[in-house]
Structure 1
Amino acid sequence: MRFPRIPALLVGLLTVLMVAGCSTNGIQSIPLPGGVDVGDNPRTYRIQFANILDLVPQSAVKQNGIAIGRVTKVEVPDNEWYALVTVKVKNEVNLSDEARASIQQTSLLGEKFVSLDEPKDTEGAPRQNPDQAIPLDRTRTATDIEQVLGALAMLLNGGGINQLQPIVSELNKAFEGRTNEFRGLIENADSLIASLNRQRDDLISAIDGLAKLSTRANNQTEQIERILQQMPAGVAVLEEQRPQFVDLLTKLDKLGEVGTDVLGRAHEEIVTDLKALRPVLTELAKAAPDLITAAPLMLTHPFPDWLLPGVQGDSTNLFMTLDLRTLNQLEALGVGQGNPVYSPPKRHNVPVNPKNPYYNGNGPRYGWPTITLVPPGPDSRPGPNTPPSGGTYPASFAPTPKQGQGILDGTLATIGVPA
């Protein structure tokens, strides 16, 4: 019979299996059927995890939901409190030094796998060194359904869920009959939060400003302490002068009453004066270009600023004739002379500068100075109204006093003031 040969075959088969098992690293070293093919030259990365749940070797490694490798080893380094997971991925997967790793699961109760993610704009970032593990600050573990159920059980059994009943009852009592008011309160709160959100940049700037102020105050601690130490002495001085301050405030109050009374009585006059100033200010605004033109001469009188480029050296000569007689000065200002009359030039084809304020109906009269407010032309010369060197104005401008009348009476009569 051949039946005794069966136990011998079984023993031989078991022996072969035992030898095969001893020659490998266990069943976990055998790739799963249908797993991803990483090729002949895969990349190896090591990842640190604070918690790997029930992740085991030969688990999948995915990127953007596509399998790119598998877990080859799970270990805990000596004297460490984290798990070190070794993975192999396809050679074309080249992680940057900003890559993130996480433990995910395929479904609610599915198997765990390692997910590798790249942040945005990491194309030009340095690559991850395979000799250095991805640190804990770049890894995380997704919440497991077991943890959720455990927390829910703790809340329902030993938590404060039973204390919600009186809270809900009190809220119902508070809201009863006040639904519209609470709705308005919620809408106002929503508007407030939206306004704060729109002003978020301003709030951040204000907080940054407070931070800078705090830093500056912290750097000036000694000065602040010295001021605080000297403040009691200053407060004591103010305390001694309190009667004077009280008297000052009392007088200020009286001054305010008097000022209010004066302003009340002179209200119409003040309004009238302000209205009267309107045409003056309007004309000044119209004369703004002329004022700008005359400003250089006003600041450098009697030398116009255009004279400076022609000065050789550090000095220049000035020839000036001053007539300090009162009557002539009054006439030079136009007192008693009527409106200015334009005096045409005695010779023809004289170049005329329209920017000259003496031009076109406002020309100089006999006896007026002829200093122009704009730079003269290259061929210009003093006008005929300027008295020659050593000369005087005609005597007709100086009226002869009548018999029994002083020089002042004649001057007053000239300007229209009766004696």
Structure 2
Amino acid sequence: MQTAATAKNVQQAIERGHLADAGAELAALPAQDAAAVLDALDRKTRTIAFRVLPKDRAVRVFDHLDPDAQADLVSTLGTADVAEAFDHLDPDDRAELLDELPAKIAKQLIRNLSPAEREATAVVLGFPRGSVGRRMSPEYIHVFDDERCGTAVERVKRRGRDAETIYAIPVTDHQRRLVGVVGLREILLADPDEPVADHANPPIFARADEDAESAARRCVDRGVLAMPVVDHEGRLIGILTLDDAAEVVEAARDEDEARAGAREPLRTPYLQSSILAITRARVVWLFVLAVSAILTVNVLEVFEGTLEQKVALALFIPLLTGIGGNTGSQAATTVTRAIATEEVTGTDVARVAFKEVRVGLTMGAALGLVGFGVAGLAYDRGIGTVIGLTIVSVCAVAATVGGVMPLAARAIKVDPAVFSTPFISTFCDATGLVIYFTIAKAVLGI
């Protein structure tokens, strides 16, 4: 609420031409709060507001801006105006911003970096997008396993200012192979002559080409302050800090929630997003769902004769398709979460299917009993039997399909969230109708 009020004040000051007032209000805020205010402004106003900030203040605020807002500023102001702010970014944040910029502007910004910063950025850019190597920081400090704790503390004092963090320190051998992790507290309180290896713990680490979301969830779930990142030979090349890991997890959650609602995530705040951007985020999924829904229409057409003979069957179609879709979505959401937290892997398909079919049968038995009673009282026992058996069957099939689909997606290197709730619902609708009319024909003899 405070951010929105400040953003409104800044915008009004700029519209009235009171640029000094706008700059003073922003400069009085902590850098992170000032960045939140700029993120809330439209593109034109944000550019003016950033211009009126004092230079040293602008550098710190730029560091906290959303990558899309950073890219907008670079594109609008030009590389010269933001070169210093770009130089002060951490290499992982710099790499994320470069991904958002046109190649020509990105090359110009890299060219303006100091040699040391250019080398650190190149390390991060050398890994595939979406990998933890792109999100790690190559600015870390490490100690050797055979050196004394007193020597290690002196190393931290000398080089700690240039490191991303100093509280969790990777321990390596002299070939830079990771052998453990030690806390700053442990070596500070230890006898200076004791070897570091006596205080090191087994490392929780990630490989640079590993999926960033998977590594970040492991870092967050285990509360690791800094997760070492190694290459394919086990040599230390960077760290993933807890705050960076939390950002990755939050972004992945936003993306999953968006896709579960049959849309792509917006890259900018809703009120600042163009009509075209919002349409593009939604329309592709609507096309996919429309094509999928044709299956349902085709099923109804095939069983048109059955409906004509027993019109009452049509009244229960919304109930059955709703139960099937919701059951499948529940299973898919549960398994997708289990995949993300590494509780389930691609080799567990049979175990997941067996568990979900039993869950579906259990839920279906409870719901089917209610359906049998209500439909039997409202119409006749035959209709009640059809509804009861269909609910049991639909729940079993929907739960199994919903549980297996995310694993199938993972096997073919597709984000499990792509199999969104509406997509699974539509699939289960068609399958449920086939089951429904097949049981109806068998039980009622039509």
Q: TM-score, normalised by structure 2?
A: 0.16
**In proportion to residue count, which structure has more strand?**
1
**In proportion to residue count, which structure has more helix?**
2
The higher relative CO (CA closer than 8 Å, separation ≥ 6) is in 2
Q: TM-score, normalised by structure 1?
A: 0.17
